[in-house]
Structure 1
Amino acid sequence: MDYIDVPSYFLCPISMQLMGDPVTVSTGITYDRENIERWLYAFKNNTCPVTKQVVFDADLTPNHTLRRLIQAWCTLNASHGIERIPTPKPPVDKAHIVKLLNDAKKSPHTQLKCLGRLRSIAYGSERNKKCLEAAGAVEFLASIIKEDEEVGLDTGIEFNKVKDEALSILNHIQTSETDLRKLLGDEGDFVEALIHVMNGENYQSRTHAIMLLKAILEVGDPVHLITIKPDFFFGVVHILQDQKILNQASKAALKLLVELCPWGRNRIKAVQAGAVSVLIELLLDTSEMRACELVLIVLNQLCSCAEGRAELLKHGAGLAVVSKKILRVSHTGTDRAVRILSSISRFSATDRVLEEMLQAGVVSKLCLVLQVDCSLKAKDRAKEILKLHSRVWKNSSCIPPHLLSSYPTC
Structure 2
Amino acid sequence: MLSEQTIRIIKSTVPVLEVHGVAITKRFYDKLFTSHPELLHLFNHANQKQGRQQAALANAVYAAAKHIDRLEMILPVVKQIAHKHRSLGVKPEQYPIVGEHLLGAIKDVLGDAATDDILGAWAEAYRVIASAFIGIESDMYTNSALQPGGWSDFRPFVIARKDRESDVITSFYLTPQDQGPIAGFEAGQYVSVRVQIPGDAYTHIRQYSLSHASGQPFYRISVKREDTNPAVPAGKVSVFLHNQVQEGDVLWLSAPAGDFTLDQTDTRPVTLLSGGVGLTPMVSMLHALVTTQPNRKVTFIHAAQNGAHHALRREVEQLAEKHPQVTIAWCYTQPTAADTSEQSYHKEGYVDLPWIQSLVPSVNGSFYFCGPLPFMKTVNQSLIAWGVTESDRHYEFFGPSGALS
Fold equivalence (TM over 0.5): no
In terms of Rg, which structure is larger?
1
Q: Which has the higher strand share?
A: 2
User: TM-score of the superposition, structure 1-length normalised?
Assistant: 0.27
Q: Which has the higher helix share?
A: 1
